[in-house]
Amino acid sequence: MGRSVRCMSEEAGPGELRIVAANEASWEDLAAVFGTADYVARCQCQRFKVLGWIWRDSTQEERTAMLRDQTGCGDPGAAYTSGLVLYVDGEPAGWVAVEPRTAYTKLRTTRIPWTDRDEDKSDDSVWAVTCFAIRKGYRGRGLTYPLAQATIEFARERGARALEAYPMITQPGKEITWGEVHVGARQVFEEAGFKVVSHPTVRRVVMRIDF
């Protein structure tokens, strides 16, 4: 689904954005997005996939190998991939995880998606956006906005009947860490057209688009 779009965010400034399915990107490019130093580098987007407690029941090497296998990076003909990679002027700069909701084993036991909802946890036609990673040096430029928008076409083209997200409510002037907001911010999904369907905690909402 490789495509180029002109960045419209004033925060991001001028720059040509290209968003591709992860299997169309190289593993080296995705590794550059995740880096080596902070939360995203340690987690490798496995928070909702490692059975048990992620830091106790998996190693860094295992999480990295899991991400590489899930994305199929470097194999444009792969039958499956687990997300999208964003480039800014040809440089790898961002990632978003988007798959069938059933691919995230830990979502079944996490209360946030299910509070005040009557949903079939085994319905693989509902997809989920669970994680963003923005490369150091590119953060604070609004790049999660085009990534969130791109997940809609990506999921719909692959047969999803709905797409969900579980973002945080951020407050102006209140500092949050990148690790906290890896699920995305509410305003990012609002701009993409997602609607709030439940409000399980003070700081978290469930948002959704039905196709």
Tens place of pLDDT for every residue, the chain, 211 residues? 444 333 433 344 547 999 999 999 999 999 999 999 888 899 999 999 998 899 999 999 999 999 999 999 999 999 999 999 999 999 999 999 999 999 999 999 999 999 999 999 999 999 999 999 999 999 989 999 999 999 999 999 999 999 999 999 987 666 555 556 789 999 999 999 999 999 999 889 999 999 9
Q: Please, are residues 115 and 202 in contact by the beta-carbon 8 Å criterion?
A: no
DSSP 8-state code for residue 185:
B
Which DSSP string corresponds to 58-99?
A: --HHHHHHHHHHHHTTT-TT-S---EEEEEETTEEEEEEEEE
Q: How far is CA 60 from the centre of its chain?
A: 20
- Give the domains, in start order, of the chain with CATH numbers: 3-210 (3.40.630.30)
